[in-house]
């Protein structure tokens, strides 16, 4: 027994000696917290294990070890150590709240299944597993693009969680339903992982693959800088590059952002970067969030144009080198330090930079696209129907659109068109009205006009899924299979729980001789559209073909 004890002491002493070089300020718990706060989880874990050995009488040692396991996604171990910390200080309400939070997260994620690719570990509920292949493919593409852009290569597998309910996502992310709907915060990068809400939980779906890419960029920036960077730049880089996984040249100046900047330039409005310091969900209105995202994207655009990618990337790497030096800082102290580094690299502080951006914005002289409706991030509520017209169309045009719908239902398409066009004159470029005009023209056999209306709708709002579906269907009935497939795929990027998308993507793949892809899409369609005779017969035909000699 004595030999074993001495051996244990020797191993501990060796561990302490090899860990000594990692110390910030000498206190093993404080240093461990520093590493944890900067998402250096491996070092945080080393210090947490050391703290439990050195200071087993301290509840903070077990709290630190519990949090290190939580940040690794090991909820069971996290709860074990956090329970110990809570029992050691039974009167500490903060300990109890933390334990409750982690226990709740574990309970929500217990039903998750695990999927994996080279760089990502994806966890989600079985009801959402149709997302797996699309999600991992998009994430791996984002990995390749962003690593080149930022010259940083995360080595560890990145944990990604898709939450199947609004309640689950709000618990795990600490966001409220109102913050989600106002800010569009349907994803978050927090606790050393990426979290999004299932697109099934939103009335109109959302660009969930872009959201995954957006949060992945936040993850890379967190690792690269140790969470040591201004929030405006963090959000700006994520927003600017979020579509890079699917398009060669990102374009943040879609009409809704261009309009926000145009109004801001004309009316001299500006959301100060300081106001964003607590994150976009803390802003006051949907309009303010849109302007803030437009501004930070503009800021990245300016830096790339006038300072160059290499200098911006070098600045980010330098932020990482200065992360975690010394004691914890106030936000004001961090802001001064960021200013000093920003001035060193770009010749100005952040306040002056905002002034230059305002001048740059005036010089851009952006044209406004009138009548563009904002994206909706409306969450589904059981038993509650959402009126699309109230969500997207103003009061002045709504009456005409309702009349148009009534005439269209009665198959009086020409009269319906007159009403829709009256509504469009009041709200030119409204994507919902343009869709109704396109569908009506299609029903009249006026395919050219229908295509023109759908394409205009996509120009003013490229994030509205039904437009892609409608345009795809228009191409499909004209036997234009490739453009039909491309638009169904775009619709799938927004609302993958629409069974008709998978049904017709499968049919196109089958006609193109891509039977494996056809089977995949029809299998998904069968899940979402139980009992569909056509889908069942098509799947049966594929099986019969396989069994033939």
DSSP 8-class letter at 274: G
**162 shares a domain with 58:** no
**What pLDDT does 381 receive?**
87
**What pLDDT does 15 receive?**
35
**What pLDDT does 386 receive?**
84
As a whole number, mean pLDDT of residues 253-279 equals 93
**450 shares a domain with 513:** no
Single residue among 74, 106, 138 that ends a domain in this structure: 106
Residue 6 has pLDDT above 60, yes or no: no
| Band (475; pLDDT cuts 50, 70, 90) | very high
Single residue among 461, 490, 511 that ends a domain in this structure: 461
**What pLDDT does 468 receive?**
97
**87 occurs within a structural domain:** yes
**What pLDDT does 11 receive?**
34
SS3 228: coil
**116 shares a domain with 100:** no
Which of 47-51, 279-283, 358-362, 444-448 bottoms out in mean pLDDT, i.e. has the lowest?
Answer: 279-283
How distant, in Å, are the alpha carbons of 214, 257, 429, 457 from that of 372? 24, 10, 5, 10
**173 shares a domain with 47:** no
**191 shares a domain with 81:** no
Instruction: Tell me the pLDDT tens digit for each residue of 151-176.
Output: 998 889 999 999 999 999 999 999 99
**450 occurs within a structural domain:** yes
| Band (9; pLDDT cuts 50, 70, 90) | very low
**What pLDDT does 7 receive?**
36
User: How far is 504 from 510, CA to CA, in rounded Å?
Assistant: 10
SS3 304: helix
Residue keyed to tokens 């009205």: 433
**282 occurs within a structural domain:** yes
Residue 347 has pLDDT above 90, yes or no: yes
User: How far is 227 from 34, CA to CA, in rounded Å?
Assistant: 11
**379 occurs within a structural domain:** no
User: How far is 245 from 262, CA to CA, in rounded Å?
Assistant: 28
**438 shares a domain with 307:** no
| Band (61; pLDDT cuts 50, 70, 90) | very high
Instruction: Tell me the pLDDT tens digit for each residue of 79-98.
Output: 999 999 999 999 999 999 99
Residue 14 has pLDDT above 70, yes or no: no
What is the number of other CB atoms lying within 10 angstroms of the CB of residue 540?
Answer: 10
Q: For the chain, how many structural domains are there in total?
A: 4
**32 occurs within a structural domain:** yes
**383 occurs within a structural domain:** no
As a whole number, mean pLDDT of residues 524-549 equals 89
Single residue among 461, 485, 502 that ends a domain in this structure: 461
As a whole number, mean pLDDT of residues 246-265 equals 93
User: Taking the complete model, does pTM exceed 0.75, yes or no?
Assistant: yes
Instruction: Tell me the pLDDT tens digit for each residue of 392-422.
Output: 999 999 999 999 999 999 999 999 999 999 9
Residue 479 has pLDDT above 90, yes or no: yes
Of 3-12, 373-382, 515-524, highest mean pLDDT: 515-524
Residue 16 has pLDDT above 50, yes or no: no
**What pLDDT does 248 receive?**
85
**What pLDDT does 547 receive?**
76
**What pLDDT does 58 receive?**
96
Instruction: Tell me the pLDDT tens digit for each residue of 500-513.
Output: 999 999 999 999 99
**377 occurs within a structural domain:** no
User: How far is 57 from 368, CA to CA, in rounded Å?
Assistant: 64
Which of 9-18, 180-189, 204-213, 469-478 bottoms out in mean pLDDT, i.e. has the lowest?
Answer: 9-18
Range of the domain at 202: 112-324+331-364
**131 occurs within a structural domain:** yes
**456 shares a domain with 317:** no
**What pLDDT does 324 receive?**
61
Residue 383 has pLDDT above 80, yes or no: no
User: How far is 449 from 291, CA to CA, in rounded Å?
Assistant: 33
Instruction: Tell me the pLDDT tens digit for each residue of 303-316.
Output: 999 999 999 999 99
**457 shares a domain with 502:** no
* Mean of pLDDT over the chain: 92
Residue 323 has pLDDT above 80, yes or no: no
- Measure the CA dihedral 281/287/288/290, to 10°: 70
User: How far is 60 from 38, CA to CA, in rounded Å?
Assistant: 18
**What pLDDT does 50 receive?**
96
CATH number at residue 495: 1.25.40.10
**400 shares a domain with 314:** no
**127 shares a domain with 201:** yes
Residue keyed to tokens 């209306």: 453
**234 shares a domain with 142:** yes
**249 shares a domain with 167:** yes
């Amino acid at each position: 027994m004595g030999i074993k004890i001495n051996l244990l002491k020797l191993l501990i002493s060796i561990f302490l000696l090899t860990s000594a070089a990692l110390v910030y300020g000498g206190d093993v718990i404080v240093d461990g917290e520093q590493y944890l706060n900067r998402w250096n989880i491996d070092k945080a874990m080393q210090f947490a294990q050391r703290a439990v050995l050195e200071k087993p009488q301290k509840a903070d040692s077990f709290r630190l070890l519990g949090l290190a396991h939580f940040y690794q996604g090991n909820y069971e171990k996290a709860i074990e150590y956090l329970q110990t910390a809570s029992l050691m200080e039974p009167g500490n309400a903060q300990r109890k709240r933390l334990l409750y939070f982690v226990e709740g997260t574990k309970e929500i994620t217990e039903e998750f299944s695990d999927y994996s690719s080279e760089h990502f570990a994806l966890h989600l509920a079985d009801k959402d597993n149709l997302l797996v292949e699309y999600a991992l493919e998009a994430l791996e593409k984002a990995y390749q693009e962003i690593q080149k852009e930022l010259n940083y290569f995360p080595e560890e597998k990145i944990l990604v969680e898709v939450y199947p309910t609004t309640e689950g996502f709000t618990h795990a992310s600490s966001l409220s339903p109102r913050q989600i709907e106002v800010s569009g915060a349907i994803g978050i990068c927090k606790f050393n992982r990426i979290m999004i809400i299932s697109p099934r939980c939103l009335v109109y779906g959302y660009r969930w693959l872009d959201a995954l890419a957006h949060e992945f960029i936040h993850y890379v920036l967190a690792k690269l800088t140790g969470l040591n960077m201004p929030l405006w730049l963090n959000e700006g880089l994520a927003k600017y590059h979020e579509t890079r996984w699917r398009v060669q040249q990102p374009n943040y100046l879609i009409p809704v952002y261009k309009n926000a900047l145009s109004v801001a330039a004309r009316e001299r409005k500006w959301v100060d970067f300081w106001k964003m310091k607590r994150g976009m969900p803390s802003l006051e209105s949907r309009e303010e969030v849109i302007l803030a995202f437009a501004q930070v994207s503009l800021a990245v655009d300016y830096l790339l144009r006038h300072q160059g990618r290499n200098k911006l990337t070098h600045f980010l790497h330098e932020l990482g080198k200065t992360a975690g030096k010394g004691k914890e800082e106030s936000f004001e102290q961090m802001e001064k330090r960021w200013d000093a580094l920003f001035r060193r690299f770009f010749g100005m502080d952040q306040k002056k930079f905002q002034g230059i951006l305002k001048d740059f914005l005036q010089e851009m002289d952006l044209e406004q696209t009138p009548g563009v409706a904002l994206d909706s991030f409306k969450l589904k509520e059981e038993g509650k129907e959402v009126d699309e017209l109230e969500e997207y169309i103003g009061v002045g045009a709504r009456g005409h659109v309702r009349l148009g719908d009534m005439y269209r239902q009665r198959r009086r398409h020409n009269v319906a068109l007159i009403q829709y066009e009256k509504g469009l004159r009041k709200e030119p470029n409204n994507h919902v009205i343009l869709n109704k005009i396109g569908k009506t023209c299609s029903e009249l056999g006026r395919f050219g006009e229908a295509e023109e209306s759908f394409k205009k709708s996509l120009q003013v709002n490229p994030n509205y899924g039904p437009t892609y579906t409608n345009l795809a269907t228009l191409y499909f009935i004209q036997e234009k299979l490739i453009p039909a497939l491309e638009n169904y795929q775009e619709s799938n990027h927004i609302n993958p729980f629409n069974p008709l998308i998978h049904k017709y993507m499968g049919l196109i793949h089958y006609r193109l001789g891509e039977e494996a892809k056809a089977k995949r899409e029809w299998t998904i369609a069968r899940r979402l559209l139980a009992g569909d005779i056509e889908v069942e017969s098509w799947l049966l035909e594929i099986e019969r073909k396989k069994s033939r000699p």
